[in-house]
Amino acid sequence: MNALRTALCAALFALTAPAFGQSTLRAVMNGDLRSLDPLWTIAPQTRIHAYMVYDTLFGTDEKGISRPQMVDTWSVSPDKLTYRFKLRDGLRFSDGAPVTPTDVIASLKRWMLVDSAGQYIAEALAALEADGDNGFAIKLKEPFPQLIYALGKPSAVPTFIFPARAIDGLPASKQLTDPTGSGPFIFKRDEWVAGSKVIYVKNPGYKPRPEPPSSISGGKVVYLDRVEWLNITDPTTQTAALKTGEVDFIQFAPFDLVADLRATKGLVVHSLWPLGIQGQMRLNWTNPPMDKQGIRVAIQNFVHQPDMIMAVMGNLKDGQVCGALMMCGSEMGSEAGTELLLSKDPEPVRLKRGMDMMTAAGYKGEPIIIMDATDQVMQHNATLVLAEAMRKAGVNVDLQTVEWATITARRTIRGPAPNGWHIFLTTGGQVASANPAFSIQAPANCDKAFPGWPCDADHEKMRLAWLKESDPVKAKVLAVEIQRHAMEIGLAIPYGQYLSPAVWRDSLEGVLDVPEHVIFWNIKKKG
């Protein structure tokens, strides 16, 4: 087995070996890149890819403040209805074409179709138009206090700017295939081997901002010539390749090998996401019997977070029991309404209560389809715990094992059609989950919502009220009520928070802490 593993690592090294003399970083990312379009899918791999090859109008710094990125200067009128923006000089796409207001306007219009923040802006929008030779203006029908934050947020769908020619007439439902961007790296389509490797090279035409980098904002200075993402799914093979130098970086250290990696000389084990990763369970409101509120709420009885944390981490100290949809530790996090979810009743009591609630809500033994991402250790191990508890309670569970990339495509299927589903487990970070209005998981606006498609007008009214509330004390009160109502309607179910460190060779320096992302600018490779 060891010989086979060594041979596999050697083969991967040979497959991805660059030209002599290049500074190359090889990274094992958490899953394969299946789509190049960050508006078509919110898969983390695609979003990280997008930050490599595209730039954004604003970027969120380490304090959560939106800072100008592609924008040079901006202003807002006294009545807060007109925002004017000027782009930085020297912005160019990787094919040499200049970035123009036409590109920005086309990109924002497509963004407003799919992003929850963009949808709110679209409702308040009076005009989106060019403003001079190198500027654009956003004119509103009513004030939108969080406009600048929305343009810089790094979660869900950031405001990536595409060439207008690449997205002209392209609906958000159809994938973008042209990877031309104005970001710090260039995607090498000719070297992309789906399921095996993804290659990026430094963009020589990229003009970084002069400020130091801060989270996703500031100067994106690239010191590497080449970055290679390798799709190595076996955890033991990943760590063997890291120890021998065939790879330099692993996005998520295998949970059961963290202690060994921490004890290995020459490696750095560090959590880049301070609050950890949040587990969220999505329930498909469009597929009976999950369309019934009582059944969705009943599922909370089968989620025992300590068991899930143990299954994932092997201990409880690297996880946190938390019922907050907006994450424990965040400004708006609350555990209101989690009496069922966080119940400390004995297992037989919890399981019987859950089954009784499902029966009362009309459950007649129909198969409950749970999609199980076997290549995602966190989701997979937690899913097995959930499925076992539901079966023990008497639920007819149909556990379907697939890869995560398959789930990201299949989860878009609504209703009981072929390949329909009822439950899948996913994850998010502190930025994506902590905002009641802009979190990808938060909307209950029916067909516009994240897969699961919760549909509840009262929930949406509360989110809109929070969005317009300028008093932080009142906003917190609203956030508590949003949390409570979300649990009452079975919007989604948190299944804990998990510290999931990255690991890299100590020959790398300049790795930045960026919640929800992995960024490859600012990194230098010694030796």
Q: In CATH, what number is assigned to the domain containing residue 464?
A: 3.10.105.10
Long-range pairs of 311-314 with CB within 8 A, sequence gap ≥ 24: 311/381, 311/382, 311/384, 311/385, 312/255, 312/377, 312/378, 312/381, 312/382, 312/498, 313/255, 313/498, 313/499, 314/255, 314/256
Beta strands at 423-428 and 492-498: parallel, antiparallel or unpaired: unpaired
Asked whether 407 and 356 are in contact (CB, 8 A), the reply is: no
Contacts of 45 (CB under 8 A, 6+ apart): 29, 30, 31, 32, 33, 34
The first and second tokens of residue 515, run together, are 């919640």
Amino acid at 414: R
**What is the average pLDDT across 43-67?**
92
479: pLDDT strictly greater than 70? yes
Question: Does 174 fall in a domain?
Answer: no
pTM: predicted TM-score of the whole model, two decimal places: 0.78
**What is the average pLDDT across 1-21?**
41
What pLDDT digit, counting tens, does each position of 285-324 carry?
999 999 999 999 999 999 999 999 999 988 888 889 999 9
Considering the domain architecture, whether residues 352 and 371 belong to the same structural domain is answered as yes
pLDDT of residue 14: 40
Long-range pairs of 260-266 with CB within 8 A, sequence gap ≥ 24: 261/503, 266/505, 266/506
pLDDT of residue 217: 95
Give one word for 512, left, alpha or beta, with left for phi > 0 and alpha for psi -120 to 50. Answer: beta
Longest dimension (CA), the chain: 70
Considering the domain architecture, whether residues 149 and 252 belong to the same structural domain is answered as no
407: pLDDT strictly greater than 70? yes
Considering the domain architecture, whether residues 231 and 90 belong to the same structural domain is answered as no
Considering the domain architecture, whether residues 258 and 298 belong to the same structural domain is answered as no
Asked whether 436 and 326 are in contact (CB, 8 A), the reply is: yes
Considering the domain architecture, whether residues 316 and 395 belong to the same structural domain is answered as yes
**What is the average pLDDT across 415-427?**
93
491: pLDDT strictly greater than 50? yes
**What is the average pLDDT across 407-426?**
93
Asked whether 93 and 180 are in contact (CB, 8 A), the reply is: yes
**What is the average pLDDT across 408-434?**
86
Considering the domain architecture, whether residues 108 and 203 belong to the same structural domain is answered as no
Distance CA 335, CA 284 (A): 23
To 5 degrees, how large is the angle CA 101–CA 141–CA 460? 105
Q: In CATH, what number is assigned to the domain containing residue 511?
A: 3.40.190.10
Residue 430: band (very low, low, confident or very high) from pLDDT cuts 50, 70, 90: low
**What is the average pLDDT across 479-508?**
94
Considering the domain architecture, whether residues 109 and 240 belong to the same structural domain is answered as no
pLDDT of residue 437: 78
pLDDT of residue 300: 98
Considering the domain architecture, whether residues 236 and 257 belong to the same structural domain is answered as yes
pLDDT of residue 18: 40
82: pLDDT strictly greater than 70? yes
Question: Does 39 fall in a domain?
Answer: no
**What is the average pLDDT across 102-121?**
92
Amino acid at 264: T
Residue 16: band (very low, low, confident or very high) from pLDDT cuts 50, 70, 90: very low
pLDDT of residue 252: 87
Distances (CA, A) of 465 to 92, 144, 201, 459: 40, 12, 45, 10
Q: Which residues pair with 422 in a beta bridge?
A: none
Asked whether 246 and 232 are in contact (CB, 8 A), the reply is: no
**What is the average pLDDT across 407-416?**
92
Asked whether 144 and 121 are in contact (CB, 8 A), the reply is: yes
Give one word for 275, left, alpha or beta, with left for phi > 0 and alpha for psi -120 to 50. Answer: alpha
Question: Does 480 fall in a domain?
Answer: yes
pLDDT of residue 21: 42
Considering the domain architecture, whether residues 13 and 87 belong to the same structural domain is answered as no
What pLDDT digit, counting tens, does each position of 433-474 carry?
667 877 778 889 999 899 999 999 999 999 988 888 878 899
3-state DSSP assignment of residue 129: strand
Asked whether 109 and 161 are in contact (CB, 8 A), the reply is: no
- The crossing angle, in degrees rounded to 10, of helices 377-393 and 347-360 is 70
Please report, to the nearest 10 degrees, the dihedral formed by the alpha carbons of residues 188, 189, 194, 198 taken in order: 10
pLDDT of residue 432: 58
What pLDDT digit, counting tens, does each position of 167-197 carry?
988 888 899 999 999 999 999 999 999 989 9
**What is the average pLDDT across 366-394?**
96
pLDDT of residue 2: 43
**What is the average pLDDT across 414-443?**
83
Question: Does 105 fall in a domain?
Answer: yes
Considering the domain architecture, whether residues 410 and 513 belong to the same structural domain is answered as no
Residue 431: band (very low, low, confident or very high) from pLDDT cuts 50, 70, 90: low
Distance CA 39, CA 50 (A): 10
223: pLDDT strictly greater than 80? yes
Distance CA 526, CA 523 (A): 10
251: pLDDT strictly greater than 90? yes
| Residue in the structure block whose two tokens are 């002209």 | 168
Considering the domain architecture, whether residues 104 and 203 belong to the same structural domain is answered as no
Question: Does 34 fall in a domain?
Answer: no
Considering the domain architecture, whether residues 426 and 447 belong to the same structural domain is answered as yes
Higher pLDDT, 527 or 90: 90
Mean pLDDT of the chain: 91
Question: Does 375 fall in a domain?
Answer: yes
Q: Which domain holds residue 283?
A: 277-498
Q: In CATH, what number is assigned to the domain containing residue 99?
A: 3.90.76.10
Distances (CA, A) of 415 to 287, 365, 421, 422, 486: 4, 18, 8, 9, 21
**Structural domains counted in the chain:** 3
Question: Does 297 fall in a domain?
Answer: yes
Question: Does 173 fall in a domain?
Answer: no
